[in-house]
Chains A and B, each alone.
Chain A
C-alpha cells in the first residue's frame, strides 16, 4: 500500500518579483515499510519536498495523497492533525524546546493529541528508552550532546507511532561517529517495520537506505532500489494496519 503518492507536484516561491521554482513536476510513490534516501546538491529542493511530504507546507500545484487521503486541499488545522498523529519529523537542527526537559519534549506531540498525563509519560519514557536515553529524561537540551538531542528528537518523532518518519539531514549537525550512531538507530527503527524517508547529501549515509532518489533543480533525476526490502521479523514500532 502506498503511504505517499504525489503527482506532478510543483512549489514556486515568490521572492519579490521573481519566482523561484523549488520543485518542478515531481511524482513519487512510497510504500509502507520502505527506507528511502533523498539525495541532491544544496538548493535542489530536498527540504521543500520533505516539508510538503511532512504536511508542513502545501504544494503550489499537484496532488498529494497521504495514506490514501488527499491532503493537498486540507486546511491548517487538518494538516496539524495529520502532522500530529501520522508524521514523525526529525530535523537537522533538532528543534527541541530549549526550556523543557527531554521527557516533556517527547511528551509534546501527545499533549496536542489530547492524551492524559499518565499515559503520556509512560509512552514518552518508553520512546526515550527505545533511543537509549532512559537516564537522561530530565535533562534539558543544553545539558545534552548533539547526538543525544537528536535521539530525543527521534523519540519525539516515534512516540505517536506515526505512519512515516521523515528526517531532513538528521546527521547534518553531528560529527561522523555520532552520525553513524544515529544512522544505526534509524536502521533499527526501520527493521522494526517503520517507513523512513531521509534527506542527505552524504553517499555513505544514503547507503543505509534501500532506495535512493536523486533530485536536481527541483526534478527527480534518478530513482533506484539499491537493496532488497528488509522483511521485519517482529512487530515494529509503527502502526499496524
Chain B
C-alpha cells in the first residue's frame, strides 16, 4: 500500500506535468466535457427553480384537499365528452355536504374574471374574484394579515364585503390600511374586511391569491349571470392518508346526487393537487430528458476527443514509456499513469464547466428562485472523471502493453 502510494505520487506528477505542458491542447480537448457539464448544471439549476416556483404556485391548493368539478383539470382526449356535462349546482353542494362524513371543511367556489376594481382615482383592471363561503378559509389555508375572514352571517346574507390579496392592496392602498375601506368592483361598492398575507408568486400566477378578491358566493351573482358555470366544490379532508377514502366517498355520493346510471362513467371529476404535480413532473421530465440527451451527446463527443488526444499522447511518449518500463515500471503503473492523465484532463473540463455555469446560475436566479445544486456539482465532477477514465482506457491499455524494446527503439 505504501509502495502504491509512492508510485501514485509519481503518476500524479507525470499526469499533472503532461497537462501543464500542453495547456492549450488539454483545454481544447476538453471542450465537449465543458459543454456537457455546463448543460447538465444549468439545466438542473433551472429545473430546481421551476420546481420551487411551481410549488409556490400550487401552495394555495392543499395537498389534503379534493376539488370536485365538472371537467377534470387535465382533460385528456375528446373535449366533447365533457362539454355536454351538466354544471354542478349549489343544491348538489348542499346534498354532498349532508352525505359525506370525511371532511373538515367544504366550500362551494365560483369565480368571475376580468372585473375592474376602483378606489378613488386608483384602479386595478382584470381582477379575479372568488365567490365562496366561510369554509374557504380552511380549504385554501388562508391567513389574514389584517382584519378578518367573512363569517357565516356575511355569507348567508350575501353582504357586500370582501377579502383582498396583497397585489390589490399595493395598487389601491399604498399608504393607508385597507380594512373597513370601501372599494368599487365594477362600480358596485364593497367593504374590505380582511387582507390576506402574501403568498408569493410562482409562474402559474393565476393560482396565487395575491391578486384576488374573495367575497360571499351570493355577492358574486352581482357580476355573473350564472355562477354555476364555474362552480366547484372544495373538500378539505384534513388528513392526506384519508384522501383516497374520502375521494371514493365523494364519488359515490356525487353519482347518487347527479343520478349517474350504474353503467355510465362519472359525469364530474374529483381533482387534487397531485394531478398538478404529475402534470408538472411530466413537463419537467421532458426538459430533463432533453438535458440528459444534450449532456450525453456532448460528453460522448468529448470522450471521443479525449480518446483521440490520449492516443496522440501515448504515441508522443512511446520512448518515455520504454524508459519507464526498462527500469521497472509495471504494466498497471503505465496504465494508471495514462488513466490518471485523461481523468485529470476531464476533471479540468468539469471544473471549467462549473466555473462557466456559476454565473449562468446567477442569471437563471433572476427569473426563478434557485441556486446551483451542490450534489449536481459533485456529480458533474464524478461524471467528468468517469468519462476520462472510460475514454482514456484504450490509449492507456495500448501504452501499458508496449514492448519495452520496441518502445525504446521508437524515435
Chain B positions within 8 Å of A85 at CB level: 328
User: By the criterion CB–CB under 8 Å, are B323 and A81 in contact?
Assistant: no
Chain B positions within 8 Å of A114 at CB level: 2-4, 6-7
Contact flags A100-133 to B (C-beta < 8 A → 1, else 0): 0000000011011111110000000000000000
User: By the criterion CB–CB under 8 Å, are B6 and A156 in contact?
Assistant: no
B151 CB-CB contact with A under 8 Å: no
A95, A113, A116: the one contacting B328 at CB < 8 Å is A113
Chain B positions within 8 Å of A81 at CB level: 328, 330
Q: In the complex, which range does the number of interface residues on chain B fall in?
A: 20 to 34
How far, in Å, is A88 (CB) from chain B's closest CB?
A: 9
Chain B positions within 8 Å of A99 at CB level: 17, 21
How far, in Å, is B4 (CB) from chain A's closest CB?
A: 8
User: By the criterion CB–CB under 8 Å, are B404 and A56 in contact?
Assistant: yes
A202 CB-CB contact with B under 8 Å: no
B residues whose Cβ falls under 8 Å from a Cβ of A: 2-4, 6-7, 10, 17, 21, 319-320, 322-333, 403-405, 408
User: By the criterion CB–CB under 8 Å, are B408 and A95 in contact?
Assistant: yes
Chain A positions within 8 Å of B322 at CB level: 95
A99–B332 Cα distance when bound, in Å, is: 22
Given A91-B408, A111-B6, A111-B7: A80 and B403 within 8 A (CB)? no
Report whether over half of chain B's contact residues are helix, strand or loop; otherwise say mixed: helix
How far, in Å, is A105 (CB) from chain B's closest CB?
A: 9
A156–B328 Cα distance when bound, in Å, is: 12
How far, in Å, is A174 (CB) from chain B's closest CB?
A: 19
How far, in Å, is A138 (CB) from chain B's closest CB?
A: 16
User: By the criterion CB–CB under 8 Å, are A56 and B405 in contact?
Assistant: yes
Contact flags A214-240 to B (C-beta < 8 A → 1, else 0): 000000000000000000000000000
A51, A96, A108, A112: the one contacting B330 at CB < 8 Å is A112
B2, B17, B331: the one contacting A77 at CB < 8 Å is B331
A85–B322 Cα distance when bound, in Å, is: 17
How far, in Å, is B11 (CB) from chain A's closest CB?
A: 9
Contact flags A66-100 to B (C-beta < 8 A → 1, else 0): 00000000001100110111000101000111010
A residues whose Cβ falls under 8 Å from a Cβ of B: 51, 54, 56-57, 76-77, 80-81, 83-85, 89, 91, 95-97, 99, 108-109, 111-117, 156
User: By the criterion CB–CB under 8 Å, are B6 and A95 in contact?
Assistant: no
A109–B333 Cα distance when bound, in Å, is: 13
User: By the criterion CB–CB under 8 Å, are A84 and B6 in contact?
Assistant: no
Given A80-B329, A83-B328, A95-B322: A112 and B403 within 8 A (CB)? no
Chain B positions within 8 Å of A56 at CB level: 326, 404-405, 408
A176–B405 Cα distance when bound, in Å, is: 27
Chain A positions within 8 Å of B320 at CB level: 97
Chain A positions within 8 Å of B10 at CB level: 111
Chain B positions within 8 Å of A51 at CB level: 405
Given A56-B405, A111-B6: A95 and B326 within 8 A (CB)? yes
User: By the criterion CB–CB under 8 Å, are B329 and A112 in contact?
Assistant: yes
How far, in Å, is B193 (CB) from chain A's closest CB?
A: 81
User: By the criterion CB–CB under 8 Å, are A76 and B408 in contact?
Assistant: no
A76–B329 Cα distance when bound, in Å, is: 10
How far, in Å, is B304 (CB) from chain A's closest CB?
A: 28
* Residue of B with least CB distance to A159: B327
User: By the criterion CB–CB under 8 Å, are A84 and B17 in contact?
Assistant: no
Given A97-B320, A99-B17, A117-B6: A109 and B328 within 8 A (CB)? yes
- Provide 18 A-B residue pairs closer than 8 Å at the C-beta atoms, listed in order of the A residue: A51-B405, A56-B326, A77-B332, A84-B327, A84-B328, A89-B326, A97-B320, A108-B327, A109-B328, A112-B327, A112-B328, A112-B333, A113-B328, A114-B2, A114-B7, A115-B6, A116-B2, A117-B6
* Residue of B with least CB distance to A157: B327
How far, in Å, is B9 (CB) from chain A's closest CB?
A: 8
Chain A positions within 8 Å of B2 at CB level: 114, 116
A217–B215 Cα distance when bound, in Å, is: 111
The 7 A-B pairs with the shortest beta carbon distances in the complex, nearest first, are: A84-B328, A114-B3, A112-B328, A109-B327, A80-B330, A111-B10, A77-B330
Choose among B6, B7, B332, B403 the residue with the greatest number of A CB atoms under 10 Å from its CB: B6
How far, in Å, is B53 (CB) from chain A's closest CB?
A: 54
Chain A positions within 8 Å of B328 at CB level: 80-81, 83-85, 109, 112-113
A77, A83, A111, A117: the one contacting B326 at CB < 8 Å is A83
* Residue of B with least CB distance to A80: B330
* Residue of A with least CB distance to B11: A111
A51–B405 Cα distance when bound, in Å, is: 7
User: By the criterion CB–CB under 8 Å, are B326 and A112 in contact?
Assistant: no
B6, B331, B405, B408: the one contacting A80 at CB < 8 Å is B331
A76-B330, A111-B10 given. 10 additional CB < 8 A pairs?
A56-B326, A57-B403, A80-B330, A83-B327, A83-B328, A84-B328, A85-B328, A95-B319, A96-B323, A111-B7
How far, in Å, is A45 (CB) from chain B's closest CB?
A: 13
User: By the criterion CB–CB under 8 Å, are B327 and A76 in contact?
Assistant: no
